[in-house]
Amino acid sequence: MDTTVATVKAEPAWVAGQPLAPSLLRRACDEAALGFTTTDDLPDLPGLVGQERAIEAVRFGTAMRRKGFNVFAFGPTGTGKHTLVESVLEAQAASEETPPDWCYVNNFDDPHRPRALKMPTGRAVPLRDAMQRLVNELRVALPAAFEREDYRARREIIDDQFKHRNEEAFGALQHKAEAKGVALIRTPMGLGLAPMHNGEVIPPDVFQRMASEERNRITADIQALQAELEATVRRIPEWEREHRDAVRKLNRDTSAGVVTHLLGDVRTTFADIPEIATYLQEVEHDILEHADDFLGSNRDGQGLGMAEARIDEETAFRRYHVNVIVDNSGHSGAPIIYEDHPTLQNLLGRIEHMARFGALFTDFNLIVPGALHRANGGYLVLDAQRLLSANFGWDALKRVLRAEEIRTISLEQLLSFASTVSLDPQPIPLSVKVVLVGPPLLYYLLSSLDPDFPELFKVAAEFDDRTDRTAEAVDLYARFIATSARREKMRPIDRAGVARIIEETARISGDAGKLSAQLRGIVDLMQEADFLAGKAARTVIGRAEIEAALAAQRRRADRIYQRIQEEIGRNTLRIETDGEAIGQVNGLSVITVGGTSFGQPSRISAQVRFGKGELIDIEREVALGGPIHSKGVMILSGFLGGRFGRNGPLSLTASLVFEQSYNGVEGDSASAAELFALLSALSETPIRQYYAVTGSIDQHGRIQAIGGVNEKIEGFFDVCRARGLTGRQGVIIPSANVQHLMLRPDVAAAAAEGHFRIIPIETVDQGLEILMGVAAGETDGSGLYPEGTLNRRVSARLELFAKRALPPPERAAAKRRSERSGGRDG
């Protein structure tokens, strides 16, 4: 396999004011220098092209284990931020230890505050399963233990003892009462005493007819016996408590043998974890205290239906479950978690509820982990825009990063809206590296407006939108194309197709010497070309498929552009491409709609008249001109004053306007065209309308670079081609923009055939000579311009305005001086 690095040819020389050679209009990628046949011959590229600075920052941020050294990766859309962050984190995480497991268990002392248990990696799930098996076995083994004969016999002894004590106490009282002629009887209201004769209770009326001495004796005996009865009855609760204690001790002793035996296996399995030993002691104590829960749903569920009793029973057993929050048994190395919807609940977890008997119920089993739980001990990647737009996600993240612990809290509790009792789980210590991914503007806004941001995100990983177009970069880009084709399961791309993609990346970057790092659009282009190759039953993607995909993309996005071109062709929008006109020039601007940019020619006109030195920007006067455009017009005033107003004030009023402009104008790229129109109006010299101009100027008349030069040239070219190319038409651009030219192949081809011209200029005077066909002229030692030059015409016109501004006596004296000097005073 040949992996020869592609070579980059040197650019040919060019001269300002002269048409550029066709090879300078589009810097082609030399196919012969690409050392492969198809992308199948190239190895994978492990990273991205031209992002060394960002890679270094992400690696530093992930390796730095100090508080606050989290990473914010920012850059233009489509530069592969997520892909690069993911690849760097995977390499870093693979070499790190797998973090421990975490689970929540019941706090038997305070069920509303569940306990968090830290477990060695892979041990939480076995603990959960072991506790589930323990509960299932206890539900079988405990009832069986209570059904054994020895338990029944001991229980009968206890019950008989309680029964015998009752019978003995009440029997003695009854014998004593009978000896005194009093009967112990049971009534609906309880035990009572009544007089008795010959074994029969004496009716009240008979008792009242008895002798008073006898009645008084019987009444006294009943009162004495009543006191003894009441004393005996008062002792019944104590005897019952002793009975219950005896039964409870019997049940505990019976349960202890079963529970200790069954818990022995769990203790042995987790003997190396002290926290589990403590937890199992608590579990054992609670099971022994609530052994009745395992003996059937009807023991404590009288009055409940079958379903309700079963639910009540299952709820009782839930306190012995283990809620595994984090299970890292399937991970190798540190976890990498990406949370797509980073709300407070999705980051910190949530506490769910379930309905029980018409009410909401919750316990530690209903604690659901969040992204921070899963990423604990590893890395959490978040989209910054989604984080800031999610419900309280940003505040929640800052709070846990400062506290270095995860405290699960509901949104209602956070806002103090909750009035019901909920859970307060024990916080889990947090050790995580957070990587935010977002646009540059968001990074700068957070840096300036949020005082917590610089403390928590100390590492900025800035992604570039382009890289130098060196031979090494071209080679790396070819490997990226090969890697993407394999990853996306596309057909291989031949070297002609790769060369065409690289040319398109240079065009996207807006600079022939750069390659775009916005890779998403390139992968989309490759996928579309692969689709077209499939329709044509081709096994390899070539230049033709890439060109067809590019044409299809332009076709889908150029409705507005074609509409503008149509209106120009119908003269609804007036743009001249031939002839000459005074005070009128073709300017060029760029319109961006939905991510698509295209050039639009605009007719710029100027009018001058005698006045008070005012330069009126009509766009600004009607609030259609932006501040940068207004700045450009004010620079024109500075240039005019510096060149033509050194000996006195400029006595003119001039107005500039973008004709048929209704949507506002911004930028200074038309300031050169506006100056040419103004000087044409002042000198009364026509401008050749088959030229269009773009460029900004400074106060010294130097032409400065502008943006969107390729789209601007192509916009005027399409107008000229629709009307017929004459060979004279062309665009005048700043010399500094020559290095940026990556024109469409059809524009470069028309220039190669002599049908269209691109002319760079460095000064205003060079542009004047090209546009008006008249020498601009330079001042001599006395500050005068030569006769017949454009600058002389302008200065003469301004001199005329200045004379008109003088009072009549001074105007006559100036006329005489001019006549004596041969009309060269000025």
Q: Which residues are identified as catalytic? A: 669, 712
User: Which of these, 19, 21, 691, lies nearest to 9 by C-alpha position?
Assistant: 21
State the Cα torsion 365-369-374-380 to the nearest 10°: -170
Q: What angle do CA 553, 557, 563 make, to 5 degrees?
A: 135
Is 477 in contact with 505 (CB distance < 8 Å)?
yes
Rounded CA separation 788/790 (Å): 7
Partnered with residue 437 across adjacent β-strands are 73, 383
* Sequence-distant (≥ 6) Cβ neighbours of residue 86 within 8 angstroms: 336, 338, 381
Q: Is the dihedral of CA 79, 82, 83, 87 positive or negative?
A: positive
Q: At what angle do helices 519-535 and 471-487 cross, to 10 degrees?
A: 60
Secondary structure string (H, E, C) spanning 707-750: CCHHHHHHHHHHHHHHHCCCCCCEEEEEHHHHHHCECCHHHHHH
Give the pair of three-digit tokens for residue 44.
Answer: 């994978």
Is 44 in contact with 482 (CB distance < 8 Å)?
yes
User: Which of these, 426, 504, 514, 427, lies nearest to 470 by C-alpha position?
Assistant: 514
User: Which of these, 187, 279, 182, 258, lies nearest to 226 by C-alpha position?
Assistant: 182
Dmax over CA atoms of the chain, in Å, equals 173
Rounded CA separation 674/634 (Å): 11
Rounded CA separation 384/440 (Å): 11
Q: Per this entry, what is the length of the chain?
A: 826
User: Which of these, 136, 98, 129, lies nearest to 269 by C-alpha position?
Assistant: 129
Tell me if residue 506 falls in helix, strand or coil. Answer: helix
Q: What are phi and psi of 158, to 5 degrees?
A: -65, -45
Rounded CA separation 107/266 (Å): 19
Cβ count near 43 (within 10 Å): 10
Rounded CA separation 443/681 (Å): 49
263: amino acid identity, one letter: L
